[in-house]
A and B are shown apart, each in its own frame.
Chain A
């Protein structure tokens, strides 16, 4: 039964797009769609139910709080459950199954030894309420990770609390707000954000109560200095710069930008999402940035989110250190570690997250940093930049490269010329890449580039992989001219065909319900 596709699922799959005439689909190409676990359910199947202890538990609950009908839990035997989820997992595309050049996301390979470290019982089994005396190892690791991140970034101090990069941004901008308020400067209500920034930057500024002022980019892809100068003033609380930018370019005018910012009495925030490109070569703290966040999943190989636990540590310069979230991790003169006590540092912006952050994620980052050491991390960045530039030249053989100069860890290609010539859009190219066995790059981002593809190979890919990807893009450009139906019909080998994204967004149907007349699972 498991592994087979119900007629309903087959019909649903067929609705997602018919395969055009004359187009053959390799048999067995890719795993197929699964029926839902509810459709696999059969009354009475599976193990016995766990009794509610004590036996009269239900009698003790007020009648008004008891549900009228039993929950519709599916009933299955264990092999069916195992096969269902294993087969579902086979529908996944991941960095462990193939190349994943999703620009801006830095889908670098996560060394398995970091997973081992995070699963060590001393870390994984520590209770979050454990007193400092019994948590010394974890506190030491976190303290040392703060020190390591400070050394990598040149910042004076680091907090590990934020649960993701975006919360790190909010933490940083709240500290900026606290800084200006502490000086009695309440008129700074604006945050300047270049149009090449991550979308989270203006969102952060709004969340913290600021107004975002967007700064256009110059033709070379950097910030337009004149527009920046015109927007900067006594109302500016901070600038937020993503460096390297989402164009994959290092901001050449960063020194002038920071001088102007500080001369205007504002602070400079660096979105450190692209730190993977500059370790060992550029320290934001040395350049004069006052605050930055780290995306440990992009730089130090922790798992990517999808809503799961993340970490977005924040580094600050001396001027913002008093405002760091509490509790900080302190090292006592005798070498032991403890958490700051409530109220110990009144200037703090307070807690950003329960406990001390997502420790399991931070253990992975710590393991990655120690495994590489300083020279190793420098090499990581150099290899990421080398791979991106190699791929930029290779992809440039078949697609336009809007900023054709040495890039950092990622670059933009454009299908604008191909679209004018053949009508094939970037979306079609991306879908066809799936048939060629690759995860597509990020498309239509940054928004400022027509028919853009943001491609980021990361440092962990071999030259053979990079060549195979460039060859696939070249093959798709040829197909667009010679057999465009192959490209417009793609993907043909994936579990689902081209999805109707507009209908999905306009009429979201997010909840599975049993068909009328079907067996209701779990009658008792």
Chain B
């Protein structure tokens, strides 16, 4: 069900790593649980993130939730489209609904991320 070419966190984020840059978004499961997303707050480009710490906020009609950095590093790009169209995170969570790109500072942290099967098991628990 979840894309097999991505890595995941227990906090329901997905990570795609290409050339040392990690693209991060929330999973379809997270988007479904949150309901209609109405606001996404992202860090500024250049902000230094540390793995496991909150880097942003996603607000839905149900709840306000923190976004947690899957890996440490500097923000190299954010998805500006989400400011005007937060619903992209619901409609296309693995594509146009991406949130930030991080220049990974410690590739070793990637090993701690979950593969699709492990994440799917966690998502199934709720």
A residues apposed to B, CB below 8 Å: 416, 444, 447, 450, 501-502, 505-506
Selected contact of B86 from candidates A444, A447, A501, A506, CB within 8 Å: A506
- Contacts of B86 on A, CB cut-off 8 Å? 506
Asked if B13 is at the interface of the complex by the 8 Å CB criterion, the answer is no
Residue from B33, B38, B65 within 8 A of A505 (CB atoms): B38
Q: How far is the CA of A505 from the CA of B39 in the complex (A)?
A: 8
Question: How many B residues touch A, CB cutoff 8 Å?
Answer: 14
Q: Do the beta carbons of B61 and A502 come within 8 Å of each other?
A: yes
Contact partners of B39 in chain A: CB under 8 A? 505-506
Question: A506's contact among B35, B38, B62, by CB below 8 Å, is which?
Answer: B38
- Chain B 51-88 interface 0/1 with A at a Cβ cutoff of 8 Å (1 = within): 00000000101110100000000000000000000110
Tell me the smallest distance from the CB of A485 to a CB of chain B, in Å: 21
In the complex the two chains form, is B63's CB within 8 Å of A444's CB?
yes
Q: Do A450 and B126 touch (CB < 8 A)?
A: yes
Q: List, in ascending order, chain B residues with CB within 8 A of A416's CB.
A: 126
- Chain B, range 14-59, C-beta contacts under 8 Å to A: 33, 35-39, 59
Which of chain A's residues has its CB closest to B126's CB? A450
Cβ–Cβ contact A447 & B36, under 8 A: no
A505 to B63, CA, bound (A): 12
What residues of A have a CB within 8 angstroms of the CB of B35 in the complex?
444
Q: Is the CB of B126 within 8 A of A447?
A: no
Residue of B nearest to A416 (CB): B126
A476 → chain B closest CB, angstroms: 20
The interface residues of chain B lying within 8 Å CB-to-CB of A505 are: 36, 38-39, 59, 61
A501 to B37 CA separation, bound complex (whole angstroms): 10
Q: Is the CB of A502 within 8 A of B87?
A: yes
Determine if A501 and B63 form an interchain contact, defined as CB atoms under 8 angstroms apart: no
Report the bound CA distance from A444 to B126 in whole Å: 13
Please, which residues of chain B bring their CB within 8 A of the CB of A450?
33, 126
Contacts of A506 in B (CB 8 A): 38-39, 86-87
B62 CB contacts on chain A under 8 angstroms: 444, 447
Q: Please measure, in the bound complex, the distance between the C-alpha atom of A447 and the C-alpha atom of B38, giving whole angstroms.
A: 17
Tell me if A502 and B38 are in contact (CB < 8 A). Answer: yes
When chains A and B are docked, how far (Å) is the Cα of A264 from the Cα of B124?
38
Q: What's the least CB distance linking B79 to chain A, in Å?
A: 16
B17 to chain A, nearest CB (A): 27
In whole Å, how far is A401's beta carbon from the nearest beta carbon of chain B?
16
Further pairs besides A450-B126, A502-B37: 5, Cβ < 8 Å:
A444-B63, A447-B63, A450-B33, A505-B38, A505-B61
Residues of B within 8 A of A501 (CB): 36, 61
Report the separation of the CA atoms of residues A352 and B61 in the bound assembly, to the nearest whole angstrom: 33
In the complex the two chains form, what is the Cα distance from A407 to B4 in whole Å? 42
Chain A nearest CB, measured from B35 CB (Å): 8
Q: Tell me the nearest residue of chain A to B125, going by C-beta.
A: A450
Contacts of A444 in B (CB 8 A): 35, 62-63
B95-126 near A? 1/0 per residue, CB < 8 Å: 00000000000000000000000000000001
Q: Considering the chains assembled together, what is the distance between the CA atoms of A241 and B61 in angstroms?
A: 27
Q: Could you tell me the distance between the alpha carbons of A416 and B33 in the complex, rounded to whole angstroms? A: 12
Q: Which residue of B lies closest to A425 (CB)?
A: B35
A508: nearest chain-B partner, CB-CB: B38
A34 to B126, CA, bound (A): 43
Min distance, Cβ A277 to any Cβ of chain B, angstroms: 25
Specify which chain B residues have a CB less than 8 angstroms from the CB of A502 in the assembled complex: 36-38, 61, 87
- Separation of A505 and B60 alpha carbons in the complex (Å): 9
